[in-house]
A and B are shown apart, each in its own frame.
Chain A
Amino acid sequence: MISSVALPWWAMVCMGAGLAAFIAMLVISIKRNHGVKRSLFASPYALWMIIFTVLPVILISYYAFTDSNGAFTLDNFKNFWDSHYEANKVIAAEAERLGVDYSQYIVRGTVNVDTLVYSLWMAFQCTVICLLLGYPAALFMADRKMKLGSTLVVLFIIPMWMNFLLRTIAWMSLLEDSGLINSFLRWLGFDSVQLMYTSGTVLLGMVYNFLPFMVFPIYTVLNKMDYRLSEAAADLGCNSWQTLYKVTMPLSIPGVISGITMVFMPSVTTFFIPRILGGSYTMMFGDLIESKFLTEGNWNAGSALSLIMMLLILVSLSILRKADPNGEGGGIA
């Protein structure tokens, strides 16, 4: 697709320059570290990064700052703030052409900002729920006295063998009006309940899909923790709640940070789940970007939204990084 879109020469030059700069940086870093042999192993990944990370980001930035003719513009960002921005221009032109007053139709559209706020709110709820569910689960799994711990680990991993799309679609056959849960309710003599197509269903789908990303980083950190520390705490008079609160929890912070990041990031960018389980009743930011690209065919506006989202993620990552400066939780944040 990308190869077929004709880019102007200067965009090609920009991309070429980006590529050259990246290669130069690579070479310089190899020289500085004198790690010639070791860094050689990184070259396949570096090439991969150039083609599938660096070039796409350059392309997205290019589209975000240009219009459909390839001329520089900031309209795509104005569009983010006011989703009626382009429409208002057309309406004003129509009003002038017809000599009528359309001022009542010239309003600010808030869909992009609203959707972003809604996505952040949903992601926040999802992260909190995952943390509340995931932390005890991780504690249980890491507890050496629990025989079931390792079984639980396997039980958490098995569903991940299957693609998340399939698992999400499977939820549909549970929650539908003619689905398992409602059939059971009817069998018991109750009325069926509308379970699909609500924001609660979307949240359920998100929690279900992202919960393992909260559990495993916490589990890893807890599992590595020196259990003699909690024994020492008990010896020194802590009851088990105090041990948890004063010893285990502070030591598990890096895992928690890692988990929060790994849940929050994909939650904000969720798409497809709102469409399948939420019936597109309310969009999330990922759906909005998808519709800009696929439904409206407006790559420029879509790229601007993607750029704003990437920026947001970058900011939230750097905030989280402050909480785990040594990257003990796997260094994801």
Chain B
Amino acid sequence: MKNLLRAALTAVVCLSLVFSCTALADSQPVTDQVVNVFNWEDYIAPEVLTIFEEETGIHVNYMCFTTNEDMIVQVEANPGAFDLCFPSDYIIQRMIAKDMLAEINFDNVPNAIQTMDHLLNPSYDPENKYSIPYMWGTVGILYDASRLPEPDRSWSILWDEQYQSSIFMMDSIRDSFGVTLKYLGQSVNCTDIPSLFAARDRLIDQKQLGVVKAYQVDETKDKMVAGEGLLAVMWSGDAMYAIDLNENLDYFVPREGSNVWVDGAVIPKTTKNKENAEKFINFLCRPDIAAMNWNYIWYSTPNKGAIAIIESEYEYDYTSNHVLNPSDETLATCEFFQDISDDFLSVYEALWMDVKNTK
């Protein structure tokens, strides 16, 4: 009898655990005074949220994700839980293809006119119906100008044998292949099998030449600040961080062109607070708020009005900063990532693993 009781008790505990979890997930208030925002970690100035709540009376439920893939899984699995997300360009394209996004009513987002022209009608959202850019940047090379005053501004510098064990590559499939494909004169979105194998062979060559110091992502910027490397493939946002801490560092986008990336605001189709989400987007596009976010994140802002405020109020020379504000000629050579189908991505993954497996 006692045993039966215990078994029953265990079952009850288990069940109640399960149910309390589901209950928690359902307990979000469904009123029009809420907006559920799902953003990258550490990707908004904290005071922005308070100002929005004070001005509109709308409560912001702020949640964070660390990878695009995780974000998509969460949005799919919890319909209605998120009113606003900030995926990267190619993920926006994937979400549009999966019919996950609601069209933004631009009548509710008048501040959208602040968006820079070159970020309008991008290839990932050709008619600009579903997304508004939040932050953007390029991929380029961060280098130590004190030891390398006149670098050859080409991706080929990453294959130069004289830089033994001094180059940090990105431990990131699309970025490493994108760079190599550009070097070989291809698109960063190449799906031509022979070209991809050629890119893989170049990456293997590079490893066997002994120029690569390490394959890293998050650690590289601090290593470059400490003077551990000569050259590093890097996102412009991270480059800004590194240059700020070590004035010997500088950044360029190689002449063959590169990848330009955007994190945009989108509204999932399952939203229950679409108008609040649009209010929030409009708020983020307000020049003073965009400037505030820039001052916290230090990535390039897509907001024309914000740049004026950054220069006047924050007294920062944004326009002449070539990291934040690349020239039109540079941008003309850059491409957005296109979403590559899961099937085809397996080719990229297999080839990258071959590179990693090279001793």
Contacts and interface: CB of A to CB of B under 8 A. Distances in A.
A4 B73 contact: yes
B215 interface: yes
Contacts of B223: 176
Nearest to B166: A177
A30 B165 CA distance: 62
Nearest to B355: A111
Contacts of A295: 172-173
Given A4-B74, A50-B14, A283-B356, A178 B344 contact: no
B182 to A, nearest CB: 21
Contact of B215 (A23, A111, A279): A279
B331 to A, nearest CB: 28
B98 to A, nearest CB: 14
A100 B11 CA distance: 60
Interface in B311-355: 342-347, 349-351, 353-354
Interface in A1-52: 1, 3-6, 19, 23-24, 26-27, 30-31, 36, 40, 43, 46-47, 50-51
A229 B260 CA distance: 74
Given A87-B351, A279-B215, A280-B214, A111 B346 contact: no
A19 B357 contact: no
Nearest to B70: A1
A279 B214 contact: yes
Interface stretch (A102-110, A209-217, A239-247, A315-323): A102-110
A27 B6 contact: yes
B357 A111 contact: yes
A81 B172 CA distance: 23
Q: Is the interface of B mostly helix, strand, loop or mixed?
A: helix
Interface in A106-122: 109-111, 114-115
B152 to A, nearest CB: 23
B51 to A, nearest CB: 31
B194 interface: yes
B215 A27 contact: no
Interface string B73-87: 110011000000000
Contact of A86 (B7, B14, B350): B350
Given A197-B213, A279-B213, A83 B10 contact: no
Nearest to B78: A4
A94 B63 CA distance: 41
B95 to A, nearest CB: 15
Contact of A83 (B70, B194, B197, B353): B353
B359 interface: yes
B228 interface: yes
Contacts, number: 116
A213 to B, nearest CB: 27
B74 to A, nearest CB: 6
Given A50-B14, A280-B214, A296 B343 contact: no
Of A5, A87, A297, which is in contact with the most chain B CB atoms at under 10 Å from its CB? Answer: A87
Nearest to A91: B193
Contact of A275 (B25, B216, B345): B216
Contact of B353 (A1, A47, A109, A177): A109
B77 A4 contact: yes
Interface string B202-219: 000000000011111001
A234 to B, nearest CB: 51
Given A36-B2, A197-B214, A282-B359, A176 B351 contact: no
B346 A90 contact: yes
Given A47-B10, A83-B353, A283-B356, A90 B344 contact: yes
Contacts of A310: none
Given A111-B353, A115-B357, A178-B227, A23 B11 contact: yes
A51 B14 CA distance: 9
B67 interface: yes
Contacts of B193: 91, 94-95, 102, 105
A289 to B, nearest CB: 13
Contacts of B7: 23-24, 26-27
Contacts of B342: 68
A5 B350 contact: no
A280 B349 CA distance: 16
A19 B223 CA distance: 48
B226 A176 contact: yes
A122 to B, nearest CB: 13
Contact of A280 (B197, B216, B345): B216
Contacts of A281: 212, 214-215
B3 interface: yes
Contact of B194 (A19, A105, A110, A283): A105
A177 B266 CA distance: 44
A262 B359 CA distance: 28
A97 to B, nearest CB: 11
A280 B226 contact: no
A157 B356 CA distance: 36
Interface string A178-222: 100000000000000010110000000000000000000000000
B116 interface: no
B13 interface: yes
Contacts of B357: 109-111, 114-115, 283
Given A3-B25, A5-B73, 4 more contacts: A5-B77, A83-B350, A91-B193, A281-B215
8 contacts: A1-B70, A24-B7, A27-B4, A86-B343, A90-B344, A109-B350, A295-B173, A296-B173
Interface of A: 1, 3-6, 19, 23-24, 26-27, 30-31, 36, 40, 43, 46-47, 50-51, 68, 83-84, 86-87, 89-91, 94-95, 102, 105, 109-111, 114-115, 176-178, 194, 196-197, 275-276, 278-283, 294-298
When A and B form their complex, which 5 residue pairs have the shortest distance between CB atoms, in order from nearest?
A: A279-B214, A87-B350, A4-B77, A86-B346, A297-B69
